[in-house]
Amino acid sequence: MPVKQISVFLENKSGRLYDLAKVLGDNQINMIALTVAETGDYGVVRIIADKAEKAVQVLKDNGFTVSETDVIGVVVPDRPGGLASVLEVLKGNNLNIEYLYCFAGPTKDTAIDIMRIEDVTKAEDIIRRSGFEVLEKIDTID
């Protein structure tokens, strides 16, 4: 089971990201990771939240264009070369990454890489078989 990422379309207007954060906050939804990809006129906000399903619902109710995307969450060692070690596996299997972002992992010496890869199931399988921990769910961080 891949991790659910929430993707939101936002126009590049002042206050829109605030609106989004406010809606999630008011509904007691905690964001674990957030990244924005932007062009001149608009951006796509990508969020990992503790209650993904509820988050999607409240955002839709508030008029946002939202989609859920399957992404892969991999636990990698938090040390120089940590990211490279998992990328090497992908490269070796000819898997291309659409986008990726990282944040600190649940323990001091781990980090989590979130990857968007076309064939999620296949990629997950390969990563797992190469000895990495693939997350099923990212709820909270201790």
Q: Interface residues with other proteins (CB under 8 A)?
A: 5, 7, 9-11, 16, 37, 39, 41-42, 44, 46, 63-67, 69, 98-99, 116
Based on CB atoms, which residue is closest to other proteins, 13 or 128? Answer: 13
Q: Which is nearer to other proteins, 123 or 132 (CB)?
A: 123
Residue 119 C-beta: closest distance to other proteins, Å = 14
Query: Could you tell me the smallest distance in angstroms from the CB atom of residue 94 to other proteins?
Result: 19
Is the CB of residue 46 less than 8 Å from the CB of residue 6? yes
3-state percent breakdown (helix, strand, coil) of the chain, nearest 5:
30, 40, 30
Distance CA 26, CA 30 (A): 10
The nearer residue to other proteins, 82 or 116, going by C-beta atoms, is 116
Q: How far is the CB of 16 from other proteins (least distance, A)?
A: 8
Structure tokens at 106: 């649940």
Give the residue with the Cβ less far from other proteins, 28 or 96.
Answer: 96
**Least gap, CB of 79 to other proteins (angstroms):** 30
C-alpha of 51 from chain center: 13
Asked if 142 contacts 106 with a C-beta cutoff of 8 angstroms, the reply is: yes
Quick one: 115 exposed, middle or buried, by C-beta within 10 A (0-12, 13-18, 19+)? buried
